[in-house]
């Protein structure tokens, strides 16, 4: 049993923002479940965002395979138009680990922001509103006119608006992020996401997923305290990603960890074909470990022959032991999805 006491929780490294609470002791203990699935019982105030503060709801399992193709229409010349609405906010609180709360800055209420997806040659139109208290922008990696670069077109706080419009390209996986100075602060708080540009001739059918590698400096000393794939440390270790044997898996990986110059991705039990940035249709490597610098990204493709549990993680011990670790649960395609025991539990 884990005992959580409100006063002790103030000692967690992190950004704690709590409303006024009734500090009168409860007669009956309350029970809730942490991110790791542990049942927590306490007779003190429950420091859980469901009960005590405004919560940013984020489901890494849902985010993994969720793609936003926008509102689609066709122009007179036959060009496909994809329109998206993105809203920036900077006043949200998120429980990134049990008992650790962080002031996240969000695109559409989540970190990372939505995975925007288009086909090369599509016209992308993004209606951006800044509902935050600070200035923000959206900067896309890829091809676009200078006036759409999100550097000098500062969008004012409390309702400022701007429309980004450009032709999707080049093919590949690209990050987008706020580019207001100090950029490290805006990215560090969560203003980033993934932009996928598909080739006109579609890639081979696969089970596709997105993994954004991120880190959190929870005590603001210039060093990350927690690391993750898709925001919640250890999430996929406690909730393994279920995939099928002999099925092509395609993972779009984007490294958005700041403060650390490099990160990497190591896969157990098989090797993957690696496409740096995804701009070339021919893989450059067949490997089980790839190193990424800040904002570097690529596409991983692989299959598993054997069923079972296989780890994927940073092959940097500090990163993997501070949250950047997960599991694939490989099953026969005839098996239904099921509860899986986590590594280390």
Say if 60-198 and 207-331 have the same CATH topology. Answer: yes
Instruction: Look at residues 137, 122, 314, 308 and name the one whose alpha carbon lies nearest to residue 199.
Output: 122
Beta strand 80-97 pairing with 123-130: parallel
What pLDDT, on the 0 to 100 scale, is given for residue 230?
Answer: 98
Is omega for the bond preceding 182 within 30 degrees of 0, making it cis? Answer: yes
**Residue 344: its pLDDT value, please?**
53
In contact, 165 and 82? CB cutoff 8 Å: no
Q: Among 123, 38, 36, 136, which Cα is nearest to 86's?
A: 136
> Does the annotation flag 144 for ligand binding?
no
Q: Look up residue 225 and give its DSSP letter.
A: S
DSSP state of 122: P
pLDDT score at 343 = 55
Strand 30-33 with 39-42, pairing? antiparallel
pLDDT of residue 341: 53
Question: Can you give the residue ranges of every domain in the chain?
Answer: 1-53, 60-198, 207-331
pLDDT at 127: 98
Asked if residue 53 lies in contact with residue 101, where contact means CB atoms within 8 angstroms, the answer is: yes
207-331 homologous superfamily: Cupredoxins -  blue copper proteins (2.60.40.420)
Q: What is the pLDDT of residue 15?
A: 42
Return the pLDDT at 300.
99
The annotation status of 239 as a binding-site residue, yes or no, is no
List the strands of the sheet with 325-331, edge to edge.
241-244, 325-331, 308-313, 262-267, 289-293
Q: What's the whole-model pTM score? A: 0.84
The per-residue pLDDT for 338 is: 64
pLDDT of residue 7: 34
CB atoms within 10 A of CB 169: 18
pLDDT at 43: 43
Q: What is the pLDDT of residue 345?
A: 44
**What's residue 99's pLDDT?**
87
What is the pLDDT tens value at each position of the chain, 345 positions in all? 444 433 333 333 344 444 443 333 334 555 545 444 544 444 444 333 333 334 567 999 999 999 999 999 999 999 999 999 999 999 999 999 988 999 999 999 999 999 999 999 999 999 999 999 999 999 999 999 999 999 999 999 999 999 999 999 999 999 999 999 999 999 999 999 999 999 999 999 999 999 999 999 999 999 999 999 999 999 999 999 999 999 999 999 999 999 999 999 999 999 999 999 999 999 999 999 999 999 999 999 999 999 999 999 999 999 999 999 999 999 998 777 766 655 554
What is residue 3's predicted lDDT score, i.e. its pLDDT?
A: 40
- 313 a known binding residue? no
Q: What per-residue confidence (pLDDT) applies to 44?
A: 41
Q: Say which CATH architecture domain 60-198 belongs to.
A: Sandwich (2.60)
Consult the annotation and say whether 141 binds a ligand.
yes
């Amino acid at each position: 049993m884990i005992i959580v006491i409100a006063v002790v929780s103030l000692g967690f490294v992190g950004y704690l923002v709590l409303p006024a609470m009734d500090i009168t002791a409860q007669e009956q203990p309350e029970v809730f479940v942490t991110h790791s699935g542990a049942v927590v019982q306490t007779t003190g105030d429950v420091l859980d965002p469901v009960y005590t503060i405004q919560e940013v709801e984020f489901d890494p399992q849902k985010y993994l395979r969720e793609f936003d193709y926008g509102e689609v229409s066709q122009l007179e010349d036959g060009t496909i138009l994809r329109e998206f609405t993105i809203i920036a906010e900077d006043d949200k609180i998120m429980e990134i680990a049990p008992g650790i709360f962080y002031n996240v800055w969000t695109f559409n209420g989540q970190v990372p922001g939505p995975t925007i997806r288009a086909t090369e040659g599509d016209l992308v139109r993004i209606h951006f509103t800044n509902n935050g208290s600070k200035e923000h922008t959206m900067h896309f990696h890829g091809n676009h006119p200078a006036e759409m670069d999100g550097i000098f077109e500062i969008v004012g706080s409390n309702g400022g608006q701007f429309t980004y419009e450009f032709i999707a390209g080049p093919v590949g996986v690209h990050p987008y992020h706020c580019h207001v100075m100090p950029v490290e602060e805006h990215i560090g708080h969560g203003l980033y996401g993934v932009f996928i540009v598909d080739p006109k001739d579609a890639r081979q059918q696969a089970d596709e997923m997105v993994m954004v590698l991120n880190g959190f400096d929870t005590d603001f000393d210039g060093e990350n305290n927690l690391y993750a794939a898709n925001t919640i440390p250890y999430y996929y270790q406690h909730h393994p990603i279920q995939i099928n044997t002999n099925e092509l898996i395609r993972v779009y990986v984007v490294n958005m960890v700041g403060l650390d110059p490099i990160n990497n991705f190591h896969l157990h039990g098989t090797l993957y074909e690696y496409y740096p940035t995804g701009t070339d249709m021919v893989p450059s490597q067949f490997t089980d470990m790839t190193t990424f610098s800040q904002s570097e990204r690529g596409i991983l493709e692989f299959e598993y022959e054997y069923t079972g549990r296989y780890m994927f993680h940073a092959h940097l011990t500090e990163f993997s032991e501070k949250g950047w670790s997960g599991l694939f649960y490989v099953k026969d395609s005839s098996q239904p999805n099921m509860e899986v025991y986590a590594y280390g539990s």
